[in-house]
Amino acid sequence: MQKKIIALAVAALASSAAFAQTNVTIYGVADATFDSVRATGSTGNSDRLDYNNRNRVTANSSYIGFKGVEDLGNGLKAVFQFENGLTTENGAAGVWNSRDSYVGLSSNYGTLLMGNLTGPTRALGAKFDVNTGATGIGANTALLGKLGGGAGAGAFDQRINNAIAYVSPNFAGFSGFIGYSTGLTNTFNGTALAGRESMGQDNANQGNTAWTLGLNYETGPIYAGYAYTAVNAAGNGSLASDGLAAGWNKLDDHRAAVMYKAAFGQVGVLFDRARINLTNGDDLKQNVWYLSGKFNVGRGAVLAQWGHAGDVKNNVQDQEGANHYVLGYEHNLSKRTVLKAVYSRINNKNNANYDYMYGVSNANSTATTAGVADGAAVQGFSFGVRHSF
């Protein structure tokens, strides 16, 4: 249960007068699973081999956060949030405020935020994932927006840092989001998207700025959403270290989804189209579909998810798609504690190397630092506990 504490809880840090109108909420998630994973049947990369029966304990997006609001009068409020990811499996320290962290102002006209934010593209993918918390080996980030493979989340399913955003109020079921980043610091398939400013020191090599927008509609059992994100680095030239990879003008993504909820649970369909615009005039494009369902059974729910990544178009290679199959069960011990078990399998085509959500730089990756080999079948079984507070 979320615990609200008032100014007396932070009186040692500041005067109570300064916090007299501020409520601070401490919240978080402790999530741990035992996973047994493997990647076998590759088509033969010289530097990437098959991996059999790798066992691990994973902290699936566990975190702790602090958020608060102060009433400034006349409908205006100050809001803030700091979230930190936790690595409960090995005791290693996480990076402070590595998750959604921001400060802003909210009113009847909407909310203005600045910080490290979940954009509408990432949020839409997470909303349509059937796994509670949109995490673990069954998460749909295995295929979304990756254009041929790789471990970890794709560029569009990471947070947007160095961002300023406006979130609209709800109008008859409609709500919107528009945001701008002065320079991403994420990675895309191992390529650094570095930068914090929109222009390089010499005013010639522009950093990787990004725009994102989203539109949602929800009424009764129906939810529909659309999101678009574009990362620009047309001025980078050959500097891969100051933005997108050399030879890339732009990376963008369209994502749309529809969900139906009822007493039985929920079903949904999600479509994603990612594209890389190259400096030579070519475009690399890929379509990804996910069909998902969560079906209530007593105090629990059966999870089912199928994803299909098509081949990358206008590429010299083909057979760069994959299929993702997920079947699981979640049992609610209480409103805050869930037992879960998931089977997840990715069938890669000959030139594809899709992996689960966690990247090869993380100890929780399926393979090792070399990554999953092309054509490998990545499969795993996971069971564990998730507790929210």
Q: Report the range out of 28-42, 109-123, 268-282, 303-317 with the highest average pLDDT.
A: 109-123
23 Cβ partners below 8 Å, 6+ apart?
Answer: 4, 6, 68, 69
The pLDDT value given to residue 100 = 92
Q: What is the pLDDT of residue 242?
A: 39
Q: How confident is the model at residue 273 (pLDDT cuts 50, 70, 90)?
A: very high
222/50: higher pLDDT? 222
Residues 207, 210: Cα–Cα separation, whole Å: 10
For residue 45, pLDDT over 70 is answered with no
Reading the block at residue 377, the tokens are 């079948």
* 181 vs 48: which has the higher pLDDT: 181
Lowest mean pLDDT among 187-196, 329-338, 365-374: 187-196
Q: Which long-range contacts (CB under 8 A, 24 or more apart) does 237-243 make?
A: 237/205, 239/200, 239/205, 240/191, 240/192, 241/192, 241/194, 242/194, 242/195, 242/200, 242/205, 242/207, 242/208, 243/183, 243/193, 243/194, 243/195, 243/205, 243/206, 243/207, 243/208
Distance CA 305, CA 130 (A): 7
Residue 121, H or E segment: helix 120-127
pLDDT at 369: 45
User: Model-level pTM?
Assistant: 0.84
Q: What is the pLDDT of residues 339-367, one digit of tens each?
A: 999 999 999 998 888 988 654 344 444 44
Pairing of strands 187-188, 174-181: unpaired
pLDDT in tens, 288-311: 999 999 999 999 999 999 999 999
Q: What is the pLDDT of the chain when averaged over all its residues?
A: 81
In degrees to the nearest 10, what's the CA dihedral of 357, 362, 366, 371? 100
Tell me how far apart the terminal alpha carbons of the chain are, to the nearest angstrom. Answer: 5
- Which of 11-15, 55-59, 118-122, 371-375 has the highest mean predicted lDDT (pLDDT)? 118-122
Strands 353-354 and 248-262, bridge-based pairing: unpaired
Most confident of 51-60, 94-103, 110-119, 197-206: 110-119
Question: Residue 325: is it exposed, middle or buried by C-beta count within 10 angstroms (0-12/13-18/19+)?
Answer: middle
pLDDT at 194 over 70: no
Please report the domains of the chain, with CATH numbers, ordered by start residue.
Answer: 3-388 (2.40.160.10)
Alpha-carbon distance of 389 to 387, in angstroms, equals 7
Would you state the pLDDT for residue 297?
96
Say what the pLDDT of residue 328 is. Answer: 97
Where is pLDDT greater, at 84 or 197? Answer: 84
